[in-house]
Structure 1
Amino acid sequence: MKNKISIDKFNYKFIISKTPYRISLGGGGTDLPFYSDLRGGELITGAINQYCLVLLAKRPLDKKIMVQTTETQITDSLNEVENFIVRETLRYFRINNSIHVSSFTTIPTGIGLGTSSTFIVGIIKCISDLINKKYDKMKIAKLAHIIERKILQIDGGIQDQYISSLGGIQLLKVSKKGTVTAKEIRIKKNILKDLQRHLVLVYSGQRRESKTIIKAQKHNLNSNIKIYDQIKEIGKNSKKLLINGDIDGLGKLMDDHWKLKLKLANEISDRNLNNTYGQLKKLGSPGGKIIGAGGGGFFMMAVPHNVEKYISNVKKLGFRYMLWKFDFDGSSIIKH
């Protein structure tokens, strides 16, 4: 952004955006630059009904910046803003004072659902409304990617920014030059209900930092490129199974994906996670996988039959699960 933005002329009292988190449905990780720059990435991803809400408001009586996330800070200088995501997103848009930013989230961070990217998309959605810039969803995703990956230098791919902005179920492709295209995958309503019911999200109880896991994958690059070739093929094969609602087939493919993913880096799993996955399969699932980079977060387990019994047994083992639905709105303004 070339020119400083003056927000004095905007009369909104406040703006609230609602931005969905996501689950990866096939080919996850092929959007990481060390792979996509060589081979091109292709994956299927879906937005879900868990959200990051961002409130953005002009401060009419002073020049201070107030940030409320897990902590609260009031400062006179943008340089002193401690939350680096808020600081650098405001800086990108040349908003230097008289602003209040708050965030609220329905789930913890560091659990593999794209939380940091979703936060950035939500801030940009609010700012675009505040400054009356009618950015489309692809533009917002691209700006979020620039801020997170180029400016903040947070390792990762393109999946999280684009699906949280677009919503729905998307086939995302990233070319060797970094160009991103998105095509919505349309699925019949009755099959959508089956997917939402039979793909069970079980919380592992472990949190992790994705950057550590992504960095570890670069050590055996030649070997890992070949593994991601196979993961990309699994993603391509997942599309037909999703459209047909083939839960058993999806479970077997996810199991194949998980076995391949374990070969990428030791940090992806540990004894506890391996034991948990084994237990969850024995309860009545042909397979599943950890959503996101690995190391913790949610297992998504395919359960073809008797979901109620499966969930009851999950609870008996002491694990928590999360009911979910697909979100088809993407990042949206719910109040201004």
Structure 2
Amino acid sequence: MSQFQVLQRAVNVAGMARARAPLRLGLAGGGTDVSPYADIHGGAVMNVTIDRYIYVSLAPLQGSMLELESQDLDIAIQVPVAARLPFDGRLDLHKAVYNRVVQDFLGGRRAPALRISTFSEAPAGSGLGSSSTLVVAMLQAMTEFFSLPLSEYDLAQLAFSIEREDLGLAGGRQDQYAAAFGGFNFMEFHADNTVVVNPLRIKSAVIAELEAQTILCFTGISRESATIIAEQSRNVAKGEGRSVEAMHELKASAIAMKKALLKEDLPTVAQMLNSGWASKREMAAGISNDSIERAMEVATAAGAIAGKVSGAGGGGFIMFLAPLERRAAVLRALQEGGFRTETVRFTSEGATSWWA
């Protein structure tokens, strides 16, 4: 009996493998994790995972068909089992994960019939790292299902390779590592895809105060981050002075943000959030727009002390900090302005899996 047959027999008894991975808020330095800046100058990012997840269910099937489903996008397809599935724009992330697992861990000899179902608690283009988190969550489910020898670093690096190399999607490196590790992390990015994740031990009182101040505002616009990121990369490659200078400022803000969090200096955290957003707007056209600027104006007028768009920009979620005494006023003003608002909790756990 082959190893796969043994695994499949065990799965038929145990049920299905499930996994989840957390989405993240970019606090500072986002964009410096993108090539060529990270390769030339070295990047630094400060981020934190939140209580929004992408879930995956993975189950064996009889026969020769692969079932792929995205519940939140309301897309379900069936494709014949193959060692390499072709990409056609429909659930290509699902297909790319399947392809790499078959190629790298199953030797390409036996492509299993599976049902892969995913569900995201954030809309596509949210700026919370949903695409990369989806890939990490699917890989975590595969790790559980096939008992793959993948550490957090392995998981994140493989997810990065799938998105950037196999699918050719422009983007950075922070999202995959945030989803794999979870928590407050200061991340360093260097040439040759070298990444160092530094988990921070933030005091519980600081976390509680940050949660009390944090408001998420959805602009109502879902955007394709790859377009903005590709422009950022072109600007750096061409040596566009202001874009490169803005990247340097973003990296400096990430370092300052890390120090402020460790020193319980929340006024500096707010200052770095604002200065980081000011620098980010200089990196490429389309990072800000009328909807984002209007939300910023509404929140600031109601008492918010800091704000920045999470992710590449152009839409998605804006993270605001507002003193607890002004929290209700800021929420009310944004809602009356036609924006959807949410509160949030920070999490310490990265990608995880279990049997159901």
Query: Fold-level match, TM-score > 0.5?
Result: yes
What CA distance in whole angstroms lies between the structure 1 residues aligned with 2:292 and 2:16? 43
1:28 is matched with 30
2:4 is matched with 7
2:229 is matched with 214
Aligned partners of 2:59 and 2:115 also within 8 Å: yes
2:93 is matched with 85
2:260 is matched with 241
Structure 1: gaps spanning 5 or more residues = none
Secondary structure of the residue that 1:104 maps to in structure 2?
A: strand
Aligned partners of 1:247 and 1:302 also within 8 Å: no
What CA distance in whole angstroms lies between the structure 2 residues aligned with 1:314 and 1:159? 29
Query: Would the alpha carbon gap of residues 275 and 309 (structure 1) be closer, same or farther in structure 2, given more than 3 Å must change?
Result: closer
Aligned partners of 1:251 and 1:285 also within 8 Å: no
2:293 is matched with 274
Aligned partners of 1:47 and 1:327 also within 8 Å: yes
Secondary structure of the residue that 1:44 maps to in structure 2?
A: strand
Structure 2: gaps spanning 5 or more residues = 103-109
What CA distance in whole angstroms lies between the structure 2 residues aligned with 1:109 and 1:316? 24
**Greater Cα offset, 255-264 or 185-194:** 255-264
What are the equivalent positions in structure 2 for 1:186-335 lying under 5 Å apart?
Answer: 186-221=201-236, 222=239, 223=241, 224-306=243-325, 307-335=327-355
Aligned pair count?
A: 331
Provide the alpha-carbon RMSD of the alignment. 1.7
What CA distance in whole angstroms lies between the structure 1 residues aligned with 2:355 and 2:315? 34
Deviation at 1:248, TM superposition (A): 3.2
Deviation at 1:244, TM superposition (A): 4.1
What CA distance in whole angstroms lies between the structure 1 residues aligned with 2:304 and 2:156? 35
Secondary structure of the residue that 2:286 maps to in structure 1?
A: helix
Query: Would the alpha carbon gap of residues 38 and 77 (structure 1) be closer, same or farther in structure 2, given more than 3 Å must change?
Result: same
Cα deviations by residue, 1:21-51 (Å, 9 ceiling, x for unpaired): 0001111111001210110111111111100
Cα deviations by residue, 1:180-232 (Å, 9 ceiling, x for unpaired): 11111111111111111112211111110001101222343322122101111
Aligned partners of 2:37 and 2:233 also within 8 Å: no
Deviation at 1:126, TM superposition (A): 1.0
Deviation at 1:272, TM superposition (A): 2.3
Counterpart of 1:9 in structure 2: which amino acid? V
What CA distance in whole angstroms lies between the structure 2 residues aligned with 1:178 and 1:93? 20
What CA distance in whole angstroms lies between the structure 1 residues aligned with 2:330 and 2:309? 18
Counterpart of 1:313 in structure 2: which amino acid? A
Aligned partners of 2:273 and 2:307 also within 8 Å: yes
TM superposition score normalised by structure 2: 0.88
What are the equivalent positions in structure 2 for 1:110-149 lying under 5 Å apart?
Answer: 110-149=125-164
TM superposition score normalised by structure 1: 0.93
Aligned partners of 2:171 and 2:230 also within 8 Å: no
Aligned partners of 2:66 and 2:81 also within 8 Å: yes
Query: Where do 4+ consecutive residues of structure 1 move more than 6 Å?
Result: none
Query: Would the alpha carbon gap of residues 248 and 318 (structure 1) be closer, same or farther in structure 2, given more than 3 Å must change?
Result: farther
